[in-house]
Amino acid sequence: MDWSIQFYYDKNLDSVFINKLFYFLISRGVKYNAYKFEGRYSILTEDPKKDIEYSEKEIKESTEKLSEIIDTYLKFDIRTTHFSVFLSYLGEFNYCFWVYIIPTKNKYLISFEAGEHLIPDEKTFLSFINLCKDTFVRFNFVYGIFRSEYQAYIPSNEENFLKILPDIVNFYSKPLVDEIGHKKLISTPARKVEELENGGIMLLVCTNILGCPDELDRANNHLGY
């Protein structure tokens, strides 16, 4: 099963943010075309004739190519263009994942997408979640949540986000923590509840990507759902 950690970005997307995002990931150990599967990227526009889908012919670490890939993407209207790139993380645990930038009518979704074939065990999953957490803090996203391939994209406004049930991994910015209640969130029964450097909170209910009904029910009941 494929799944993702999706973040809502409520500001105008520009080249500065996009370059900062990928430079940040590189600083955390992310590479291009470096592990297990060939690097690739996709640029989907409003005109299918202009779409670009490219895959490397062999696995050979070439992180410097990210610069020209991003430059190619930025030549299009990023307000309407979908961008995705397949990356590798090399560290204590090695794995691959996709980064998607998805325009919506209310700004943008930034999605880190993986699956059982890319992140096969709990230790790797937790390493990936730590990378997501660091990204959430660095860029002050409004919120983030785990989504399986069978679930819709997260809502692109805070009011509707607060109406959906928390999932196995959830990120709340400080304004949302204040709205929900710090004491309520920090005391949620879960595998891990972590207060973040930016005043937000990460709520990790469990690490089973197929779901954990009992644990989710306890967390949701505690939060008043």
Do residues 129 and 95 touch, judged by C-beta distance below 8 A?
A: no
Stretch 12-31: mean pLDDT, rounded? 96
What backbone torsions phi and psi does residue 120 show, to the nearest 5 degrees? -90, -10
Instruction: Give the pLDDT confidence score for residue 175 in this predicted structure.
Output: 96
Instruction: Give the pLDDT confidence score for residue 83 in this predicted structure.
Output: 98
Amino acid at 137: V
Both structure tokens of 195: 């207060």
Average model confidence (pLDDT) for the chain?
A: 95
Stretch 80-90: mean pLDDT, rounded? 97
Instruction: Give the pLDDT confidence score for residue 225 in this predicted structure.
Output: 85
pTM of the model: 0.95
In this model, does residue 27 exceed pLDDT 90? yes
pLDDT digits (tens, 9 = 90+) for 2-12: 999 999 998 88
In this structure, of 62-76, 143-157, 195-209, the range with the lowest mean pLDDT score is: 143-157
Do residues 204 and 129 touch, judged by C-beta distance below 8 A?
A: yes
Residues 6+ apart with CB under 8 A from 151: none
pLDDT digits (tens, 9 = 90+) for 30-81: 999 999 999 999 999 999 999 999 999 999 999 999 999 999 999 999 999 9
Contacts of residues 206-211 at CB distance under 8 Å and 24 or more positions apart, as own/partner, are 206/168, 207/122, 207/125, 207/126, 207/168, 208/168, 209/1, 209/3, 209/116, 209/125, 209/146, 209/148, 209/168, 210/1, 211/168
Residues 6+ apart with CB under 8 A from 14: 78
